[in-house]
Structure 1
Amino acid sequence: MNDSLKLEFLPWEHKDKIVPFIQAQVETHHKVVNDLLPDDEYLYNDVDLPMTPGLFDTFVDDTPTPFYAKRLLKLFIKQMSNPTTKTRKATYEKIIFDNIASYGEEFVDRFQQVERDESRVQEEALWLLEHAAHREVVKFAVTVLGCTDCEKYKELLFTIGMHEEFTSYVVFALKNGTSRANDQIWQLARQVHGWGKIAAVEQLEATSPKIKQWLLIKGCENTIMDEYLAYTCADKGDLEVALEEDEISRELYDGANRIIQALLHDDAFDSIEDYQYASIVLSRFVHHARVHCNTVNDFYTLMKIYEFINADEAVWEERFNNHWQKHERDAIRQAIQPLINGHKWSYVALDMLQSDYDLKALEIARFYELDVTDNLFELLKKYPTNGELYLAIMATNNDQHIKKLCTFAESHLSLSSLSNDEQDCLQYLIQDLHEYEGVGLPLIQAALESDNGSLQYQALTVLEAWQSEISQQPSVQAAIKNIASTSKDKEDRKLAKQLM
């Protein structure tokens, strides 16, 4: 054949474009109402559900692929010099090969050292935004746009930033390429609620009393974890100064309550231990609690402060070596004791647990050493797949309670076709059955026969801890043999073979 037909497949063709998808939502609803993105179908399958917007970037290896940024920059320079379908395709395909969360910082450093025509940079960045059918291309284009004076594209950037997958990149572009960026970042922080809010608040500068007040009242509240932003909001918002007032508003009290709870949480990233104004803030909060403490959530924070103040002396020796003084601890202890001594909140918590489940009410009841196990079992009848109830009962470490819970689970969980919630409940149960030989064997059997690798492993470790006679039962052996021959996990296969 003298003639040949060359087929050229362009990676952005015949696919929904991401930026118009976001713009349509914002134009109609003034916010993003659908977190999904058009390229989800390329990234996820029927088993792997889409991640929360912005979460994936936190998992990306921050060690860039060697020479990747350098090669991508070379392609983009070539595209700017000669913007054809061929050069744009080469850049586009290179962008979607890796994640900008990994190489972005290096790319920006290199890009800012290159002599360039800003108008050409912007033209090609806008072309990418117009045609992008993959999220990495949007992130790249926003980053490149932010390396120029992009004042006239503020509105476009803001709209893109309202989708939390792109908020952190838009914040960079606003700070780097526009004037009065802080006002835009604050506005954006009030529009988003998850990873995007975390990114925006971390970059927000508390340049006015209004921003400081917002940080203390609304700043750390988000759909991910308050613990991510509690320290940032306390620090930037000058919480210690705000609480020095003789009287504070209910709004400020609620905001401080949220921040202090998060700082005291075991999972806090920057905790109360790192906070230099901890003694002032806790002292003033306890002072204001005499007026404002009127809900279980309010008292829960006081309970956590009490536990913090009454930690082991060895812990306090270390604190005294940092930024605490003995008289500060003694003053808080003395001030909080009357609020703890009354039993009002133990009765309130008990009353709540008689009608519905509330984790904070449960912790308060346990703080006052109340036995609420019967209440938990009653609630379990209403909510047989509430994993927190299983955890709470297992935490009693009481033989009779655990046997009763296993019996309940055997009759109320669909052991042959476990739902996701039921799998969680079963996980909470069997992970602590090692010391309860023979208890919950049908649950162990169900875990072995499930297609959940974590459940299978937990069941195998329980059988390993029990007497070998139990694992030799025919039905149990059949399930173990199946794991030994079919499991994709090497450790599971090894453990199963040992039990055989």
Structure 2
Amino acid sequence: MLIHAEDEELATWPLPWLHMVRKLIEQRLQARFMPPGNATRMRLEGRVLHISELIAVREGPLEGTILAHILAHLDPDGSGLIPGGEDLPDAESGSLNEIRWAPGAWEGILTHGFGISSDEETAAAMSGLISRNILRGFRAEDFDALYGLARSKEFIFSYIDVLSTVSSSHALSGAGIRQLGRRLVREGQHREPVKLGIALLGLIGDNADRELLLTLGRHEEFTLYCAIAISNVEPPDSRDKVLLSMAKSVEGWGRVHAVERLEGSTNPEVQERMLSDGYRNIVGSEYTAYIVATTGKPAEALANPDVTLHLLDAAAEILGALSNDAGPPVQRMDDYLEGPLALERFITHVEQHGPRLSHFTATEDIAVFLRREQNWEAGKDSRWTISIREEFASRCERINQHPGWAALAEKGLISANNTEFYKAERIARALGLDTYPAHWRRVQSYPCDSSWFALLQEVDEHRLPAVLAYARQSLPLGELGSGPDDKDAQSDRFRAHHALDTIVTGLAKFPGEGWDLVETCLRSPVIRNRNMAINTLEAWTPTHWGPNVLTALLRAHAAEPDDKLRQRLDSLIK
């Protein structure tokens, strides 16, 4: 009788009763042979799924799971995570000899130019264990075996093969796939099994898990998988708006992945938002510029003679990103069919409005791109004629010769806003203005900030003594040189260590100068610091070493815990 209780009645039962009923149904599924597609089997599997959902809602996420961690770190403003949210519970404090990827960056790099090789052996084993779990009623040993395999492998290499096998299997019920996906997502304490769970939820054609996917997608390690799942299961009339919501909640690789799945959207709200600021991300606007240009249709928007400055600034960033030759391997201006029309309208508006910080970078990049002959294959697009390219390039160059740029650059160089400052710095460099005083002010205001790198690009032998004196005064050298270790320097508390290795790297072009800072770097608990110290000493060559360098190297060699670094010290000493 318990097994046959109505769904409405089940919702009122205490948790222990729900657990007992679920166990009874699972035991019946395991005890009786019922072939796939059997009506009784499908009804019982559906009942297990419903009871599991009631239990999950009542109990909430299990402590220590990825889901619980993300829920505890959701930013109340609806965008991303609060500090500490990026550090997933399964993160290990590994050696800095190994590359530490930002959330979502590994998948981002693989899916943008490097390609993904299939791990067919793992995919076959994983698919078999998925089938085993569903067909045998989710026995503990089967789930543990699947979880262990998923945890030990990077799912991105098995993704396509696993989903292809599972989706084509007529033996697996949708209810079973969904139950397994939800369990992996809700109970997973490691990222790879959670990714597998998200992928399974994306197979079953139901948008009931929308909020769960949007929540997990707030962490950029999972945004790609959640965006694909939503693309698969969300109804067409709501899909783009849900993906737009996901894109707005992240800012790095997650936004890139979400925006890519909005390509070709005809939803006016989505098009407007993409053009307004959907292209922006902290990875690089080059990754999204082409999609935004073809979907957001800036050429049409720029047809308005009373275009807003916000839209004009957005168009500058999009068209500038399409013209950035130094960016990643993505589609560029010469691939953009409406490029000539968009440029004509953009350049005309800029000519009428006068200098703005965001416009200089765009017009400079556009002019350089148009004049670079290797960007233009013969006959690729007849609309990009030599005369059109020459006209647009010349007009951009004339814009950048406006006498008002110098004053605008000088004003931007005292701005505390990083975006404004670096746009102004680029203008100043193009005009031949000295940016050293501006970088010197920023370093003195924020001694552990990244401005050290830019400052050291401007330093000469006359300015160097003051810079080194300030480094000694402002950085906690005793703490930075506390002795070799294998520290993870990815968090903000290692900002001073990053500043030190930037300074020491800059000293490579000043043989013999700042040896005390190099020695401090050599004694740092952070491996990257010690590597930078060795790089600088190699650049100096022994002819510029002072009398204490060899002694310090021998001491460092004796204390060095890292095998690869000890080998580098060996080579340096010899």
TM-score bucket of the superposed structures, by smaller chain: 0.7 to 0.9
Correspondences of 1:432-443 after superposition (within 5 Å): 432-443=506-517
Aligned to 2:483: none
Q: Greater CA deviation, 403-412 or 108-117?
A: 403-412
Matched residue of 2:158: which SS? helix
Once the two structures are superposed, what CA deviation does each residue of 1:319-354 show, in whole Å capped at 9, x if it has no partner? 364544221122123433443233212022224435
Partner of 2:165: 110
Counterpart among 339, 348, 363 of residue 287 in structure 1: 348
How far 1:182 sits from its partner (Å)? 3.2
2:261 is the alignment partner of 1:209: no
Q: Describe the SS at the equivalent of 1:45.
A: coil
Cα distance, 1:202 vs structure 2? 0.6
| Residue equivalent to 1:483 | 556
**What's the CA shift for 1:355?**
6.4
Change (3 A) 1:261 1:421: farther
**Which of 399, 404, 409 is matched with 1:349 structurally?**
409
The structure-2 alpha-carbon separation of the partners of 1:65 and 1:339, relative to structure 1 and needing over 3 Å to count, comes to closer
- Does the C-alpha gap of structure 1 residues 257 and 268 become closer, same or farther in structure 2, counting only changes over 3 Å? farther
Match of 2:363 in 1: 302
- For the residue of structure 2 that corresponds to 1:44, the secondary structure is coil
The residue number in structure 1 matching 2:489 is: none
**Does the 8 Å contact 1:35/1:163 carry over to 2?**
no
State whether residues 253 and 292 of structure 1, in contact with CA within 8 Å, keep that contact through their aligned partners in structure 2.
Answer: no
Who is 1:370 aligned against?
Answer: 433
Q: Which residue of 2 aligns with 1:361?
A: 424
Q: Paired residue for 2:299?
A: 240
Is 1:95 matched with 2:150?
Answer: yes
Residue 6 of structure 1 is matched in structure 2 by none
Tell me the residue number matched to 2:184.
128
Report the equivalent of 1:9.
Answer: none
Q: What SS class does the counterpart of residue 75 from structure 1 fall into?
A: helix
Counterpart Cα distance in 2 of 1:460 and 1:28: 45
Query: For the aligned residues, what is the CA RMSD?
Result: 3.5
Question: Using the alignment, how far apart are the partners of 1:378 and 1:121 within structure 2?
Answer: 59
Q: Identical aligned pairs, as a percentage? A: 22
| 8 Å CA contact retained: 2:522, 2:534 | yes
TM-score between the two structures when normalised by the length of structure 1: 0.83
Alpha-carbon spacing, 1:42–1:284, altered in 2? closer, same or farther (3 Å):
same
Q: Tell whether the 8 Å contact from 1:480 to 1:496 is kept in structure 2 after alignment.
A: no
**Are 1:417 and 2:472 matched, yes or no?**
no
The amino acid of 2:552's aligned partner reads: A
| Other-structure match for 1:187 | 245
The residue that corresponds to 1:3 in the other structure is: none
How many residues are paired up?
482
Q: Distance in 2 between matches of 1:166 and 1:44?
A: 18
C-alpha distance in 2 between matches for 1:453 and 1:30: 37
User: Which residue of the partner structure matches residue 36 of structure 2?
Assistant: none
Indicate the residue corresponding to 2:127 in structure 1: 73
Q: Alignment partner for residue 277 of structure 2, among 218, 230, 233?
A: 218
1:390-409 equivalences in 2 (<5 Å): 390-396=452-458, 398-409=460-471
1:462 paired residue number:
536
Deviation at 1:449, TM superposition (A): 2.5
Q: Residues 247 and 446 of structure 1: is their aligned pair in 2 closer, same or farther, counting only changes over 3 Å?
A: same
Unaligned runs of 5+ in 1: 1-12
Cα pair 1:186 1:201 within 8 Å, conserved: yes
User: SS state of the match for residue 235, structure 2?
Assistant: coil
Q: Tell me which residue corresponds to 1:319.
A: 376
Measured after TM superposition, the shift of residue 107 of structure 1 is: 0.3
The residue that corresponds to 2:9 in the other structure is none
Alpha carbons of structure 1 residues 428 and 52: separation in structure 2 relative to 1, 3 Å: closer
Distance in 2, matches of 1:206 and 1:27, equals 28
Q: 1:378 to 1:193 in 2, by over 3 A?
A: closer
Gaps of 5+ in 2: 1-60, 481-492
- Greater Cα shift, 209-218 or 428-437: 428-437
Q: Report the CA distance shift for 1:374/1:131 in structure 2 as closer, same or farther (over 3 A).
A: closer
CA distance in 2, matches of 1:141, 1:467: 54
Q: Equivalent residue for 2:450?
A: 387
* One-letter amino acid of the structure 2 residue matched with residue 256 of structure 1: A
Whether contact under 8 Å (1:39, 1:135) holds in the other structure is no
* Cα separation, 1, equivalents of 2:415 and 2:266: 46
- How many Å apart are 1:220 and its aligned residue? 0.9
Higher relative CO (CA 8 A, sep ≥ 6), structure 1 or 2? 2
Q: TM-score, normalised by structure 2?
A: 0.73
SS at match of 2:477: coil
- In structure 1, the residue matched to 2:6 is none
